[in-house]
Amino acid sequence: MLCNFLKPIKIKDKTFYEKEFSDSSRLVMAGMDFNFRKYNLKNTNKFLKFYELTDKDIAKTYQKHTKNVVLNPHPGEYYNVDGFVTSSTPIMIVTADCIPLLLKGKKRAALVHAGWRGVQKRIYFEAINKMNEDKKDIKAYLLPSISKSSFQVGEDFMDEFKGRYGFRNFATKDKVEGKYLYDLKSFVKFELINFGIKPENIFIEDIDTYCDTRFHSYRREGKDYGLNAIFYIV
């Protein structure tokens, strides 16, 4: 299901994006108008002030491409971690083309950074297992990330998933010899469904971070790339 579930919010001349849930929790993504490169606390606190929070109130991690998910984190910075499961502490991850994924259950929510390495390690299965909720009640939200038309990969990438059920169904040969265009979002949706998440409970934000300059992109910006910040605020 392709939908635009994020709504723009303006603070003076800056825009970020939010989805508010019926329980008053919020899923928030800040992109190009902010830059959450590591230790940019001034920028982080300036943004969080809108939600009456500070850097000291949230559990945060920076992308490490692991499958490590922390259950019930306390506020603070976590290392070698790419996701959280929470029922009370606000949580934050960062991305720059990778998939930010929120898994929301009735009692807990998980927020994970799912780059291709995280997808290869099935970090979202790790998060779902730690949520300890009925899978039929979990809703999945895939936020802006790189799309198939921009995600060119080679045989080395394809070999990383060798033998993975259904993986090659989401690849199209590119016009460049030995290259493919890969639909990582649709593959994650496919795996979530096979793991027991209902198809009607999976929502994909139809935005390509490589093409859409409202968001930071590693592939577009190069070595000086910025970071998008994603928050789940309970």
Give tens-digit pLDDT for 72-99.
Answer: 999 999 999 999 999 999 999 999 999 9
Residue 1 has pLDDT above 60, yes or no: no
How far is CA 47 from each of CA 104, 112, 230, 232, rounded to the nearest angstrom?
A: 23, 21, 12, 14
Tell me: pLDDT of 3 over 70.
Answer: no
Extract the tokens encoding 128: 């779902």
* Degrees, nearest 5: CA angle 91-92-93: 135
Beta-sheet pairing, 26-30 with 69-71: unpaired
Question: What contacts 177, CB < 8 A, 6 or more positions away?
Answer: none
Report which of residues 4 and 219 the model is more confident about: 219
Closest CA to 233 of 7, 21, 14: 21
CB 55 within 8 A of CB 44: yes
Kindly report the pTM of this predicted structure.
0.96
Query: Span 164-188, mean pLDDT?
Result: 97
Q: Please provide the average confidence, as pLDDT, over all residues in the chain.
A: 94
112 compared with 44, residue with greater pLDDT: 112
User: In angstroms, rounded to a whole number, what is the distance separating the alpha carbons of residues 118 and 101?
Assistant: 11
Interatomic CA distance for residues 187 and 168, integer angstroms: 9
Q: Which value, to the nearest 10 degrees, does the dihedral of the CA atoms of residues 44, 30, 151, 155 take?
A: 30
Q: Residue 12 pLDDT > 90, yes or no? A: no
- pLDDT tens string 146-159: 999 999 999 999 99
Q: Is residue 42 pLDDT above 80, yes or no?
A: no
Instruction: Work out whether strand 139-142 and strand 202-205 pair parallel, antiparallel, or are unpaired.
Output: parallel
pLDDT score of 2 more than 60? no
* Percent of the chain with pLDDT strictly greater than 70: 97
Q: What is the pLDDT of residues 208-229, one digit of tens each?
A: 999 999 999 999 999 889 999 9
Question: 40 falls in which pLDDT band (50, 70, 90)?
Answer: low
Q: Are strands 139-142 and 171-173 parallel, antiparallel or unpaired?
A: unpaired
What is d(CA 123, CA 104) in angstroms, rounded to the nearest whole number?
15
Query: Does the structure show a pLDDT above 60 at 142?
Result: yes
Domains of the chain plus CATH, in order, are 2-147+198-233 (3.60.140.10)
| Bigger pLDDT: 231 vs 34 | 231
